[in-house]
Chain A
Amino acid sequence: MTRKRKDYFTAFLFILPSLIGIAIFYIVPYIICFIKSLYIGQNFVGLTNYIQLFSNNTFLLALKNTAVFTVIAIPLLMVISFLLALFLNSFEKISSFFSSSFLIPVVVPIASLICVWQVVFDDYGAVNGLLNTLEFYTVEFFSSEFSMVMIIFIYVWKYCGFCVILFTAGLANVPKSLYESARLDGANSFQLVTKVTIPMITPTVFFVFLMEIIYSFKIFREVFALFGDYPNENVYFLQNFINNNYYNLNYPRLSSASIILSLFIIIVLLVFFIFERKHSVSE
């Protein structure tokens, strides 16, 4: 065995423990889940479960809500955190305490946050108190279409600081000379952002987008803690559907919904990686 091969073998052995873990806890269950999605009881039914799923109104409602949340919340979070990062980047120096305070929403336990949000968004809570003072009607955040607004707000609030830190790190790597050259060429502030900053931090934007996609699927924890197993139909997400079908022991429906959800994420990320790779090559 050559030295290179020996090194490969040793490296492989080191990877093996985590590979076993990933195989047992992710790959094998995923394959089992896919196989189960093709069966009802002991009978092979092909794609029937998937077809039935798409004729199930509750699944379609969950799919619609998840899509609406993803389409609105992710761009909103990206824009807000990018603008905040730009604002922070305009300062010469930011104290480390101030920077790390952006991470507080991510590290505070969900249970504590939920208590706060319940007080803030209750019919007699702070937000409605403010609205009533301004002579607006009370908004029922927990039982109306505004539930989605509340969830998007919570999502943006929670992950904004984290994304700001990622963007700030990306912005710090943009050479100052590029801005100076652009200014000499007569570029205004808007052009500096669109023509210099954004192209230069594209890898960071991709990474932030990736993280946000992952976090958007984690928002179920907040939805579950605020609304329980059966939220109102405005915030009934795919994760609710999957979670409830677990307790209903509807394995065929649960597994086919999970496969669809995972395929959705895989496709989005794949497209994204292809984009990023192409962009990196052209750069």
Chain B
Amino acid sequence: MNKRIISVMLCMLILTGFTACGNSATEDSGSKITFYTIKNWYSITEGSSIWDYNKHCTDSDKIIEIVEFETAEELKNKLSTELMSGGGPDLISADCLSAAGISYEKLIEQGCFADINEIIEADTSQDKINLSDYNENALQSGVINGNRYYIPFYFMPNFYVASQQDLEKHISADTKSLSYNDLIKINDKINEEKSDKVITLNADGYLWSYVYDNVDFLNKTYSFDVEFSKTAEKLKELKSSGNEIKEEIFNEFVISPYQIYEYCAEIEKKEETARVIGKPSINTEVLSAQACDIYFINKNSKKKQEIMEFIKFALSEKEQNNVTGAEIEKYDNTTSYYNGSYFPINKKSYKTLMNNAKEIKYLDDTAKISNKSSEQLENMLSQISDYQFPQSTNYMTEVGSELINDYVNGKISTQKFTDSLKSKTKIYMEE
């Protein structure tokens, strides 16, 4: 009899033990929208869309419940397990997926995200999103295989700012966008002339972006041919010119019109002409921009309409003005990020921002931007036709990073680099 009691007790112990397996992290969220992130990640810090929305939200049920994880690994395990079992957070940001090392291209392929077009259609409220109020080209970046998986809140043009006097020695005046070969040519000439300028202090970055440019994650194609090897070899050599502390030809950190104009003002102060030019890319005929601040809606979410409240808020003129600093009265270049970042996709907000950026003064409130520079930037912005899906950091972490480091540090030959890249990319794309 005792034996039976012991065995029954054992069974009960096991069964009750299973109840402890559930994670309480998300249980308390109840009717709230859930969002997973890594602790102190910038997407939830002050000034972010989520932070602003929660501050603005008066209805506690509509607040976004932020579940923070200590490490990226923890977030990755939790997110992948829950998504796979038909659960997961309601709102998923591209930044957090990147940080967790999860490829959003592959999640899109698996149908993990909801089609926002369907949610908009089902919205019966008066303030229903009208897509024509926003930059149509930028919105198009979220449309993949006919479904709208995200609405980017902002964008960043892939532009550089440089002095026309520096550039005219190397490239023609009508060049809209740099090619990687242009970079190599400029670098060669700089080295020949023993100039006091360099292409960049971060030469590895060009190799990274060149690899990215040769991979199409959505269509699962890549091109690592002979031409790729030749260019990669030359780009690797840019590193040698980046070792010394010299002035860079290109101003690369372009996150707002204010920053572009600040660079332009610096150049104009030297009585040179500022030139805005497209970042190096394979297709020099097309000007591109990066879609920013991207949120996906979990297909399993039961709060899709509630999430639309957040999206409406983030797309509103007021919020977009606030984040991009469209109405600032003074630009402080020492805290440029807090003056506002990004370019808004809300048309009204965009107009306000661009007008304001032309009006205010730069270089510590001492210089106004010339009409030529502002017209040039506006003209370039109007020509952007390719709003790119954000690059998957997962590919670089898993495939490219180690190879590029080994290659740049001379541990592997160009042939080995290309062959390994080809082989690993093939597996990454096909599996």
Contacts and interface: CB of A to CB of B under 8 A. Distances in A.
A189 interface: no
B420 interface: yes
Interface stretch (B151-159, B163-171, B367-375, B422-430): B422-430
Contacts of B111: 41
A249 to B, nearest CB: 5
Nearest to B431: A58
A248 B106 contact: yes
B7 interface: yes
B4 to A, nearest CB: 6
B15 interface: yes
Given A14-B7, A58-B430, A230 B110 contact: no
A245 interface: yes
Interface stretch (B76-84, B232-240, B276-284): B76-84
Interface residues of B, number: 37
Interface of A: 9-10, 13-14, 16-17, 20-21, 24, 41, 56-59, 61, 123, 140, 143, 228-230, 232-233, 236, 241, 244-251
B285 interface: no
B305 interface: no
A248 B3 contact: no
Given A21-B14, A249-B84, A250-B106, A10 B431 contact: no
Contacts of A9: 4
Given A228-B398, A248-B106, A251-B110, A59 B11 contact: no
Contact of B7 (A10, A140, A241, A247): A10
A143 B420 contact: yes
B209 to A, nearest CB: 20
A-side interface mostly = helix
A9 B399 CA distance: 56
A241 B431 contact: yes
B-side interface mostly = helix
Interface of B: 3-4, 7-8, 10-11, 13-15, 18, 76, 80, 83-84, 101-103, 106-107, 109-112, 398-399, 402, 411-412, 416, 420, 423-424, 426-428, 430-431
B110 A248 contact: yes
A248 B431 contact: yes
Nearest to B395: A230
Contacts of A21: 14
A241 B430 CA distance: 10
22 contacts: A9-B4, A10-B3, A13-B3, A13-B8, A16-B11, A17-B10, A57-B430, A58-B426, A58-B431, A143-B416, A228-B402, A229-B398, A230-B424, A230-B428, A232-B424, A245-B431, A247-B76, A247-B80, A248-B109, A249-B83, A249-B112, A250-B110
A16 B107 CA distance: 40
The CB with the most chain B CB atoms within 10 A, among A10, A61, A230, A250, is that of A230
A56 B430 contact: yes
A13 B7 contact: yes
The CB with the most chain A CB atoms within 10 A, among B7, B101, B111, B412, is that of B7
A232 B426 CA distance: 10
B242 to A, nearest CB: 26
Nearest to B81: A246
Contacts of A10: 3-4, 7
A239 to B, nearest CB: 12
Contacts of A123: 411
Nearest to B15: A20
Contacts of A20: 11, 14-15
Nearest to B7: A13
Contacts of B423: 232-233
**Top 8 A-B pairs, shortest CB-CB distance:** A13-B7, A58-B431, A58-B430, A248-B106, A17-B10, A233-B423, A249-B110, A230-B424
A16 B398 contact: no
A55 to B, nearest CB: 11
Contacts of B13: 17
Given A20-B14, A143-B412, A251 B427 contact: no
B274 to A, nearest CB: 43
A123 B416 CA distance: 13
B424 to A, nearest CB: 5
A17 B14 contact: yes
Contacts of A229: 398
Contacts of A14: 3, 7, 10
Given A59-B431, A230-B399, A247-B76, 16 more contacts: A13-B3, A16-B10, A17-B13, A20-B11, A21-B14, A56-B431, A57-B426, A58-B426, A58-B431, A140-B416, A228-B402, A230-B424, A230-B427, A232-B423, A232-B424, A236-B427
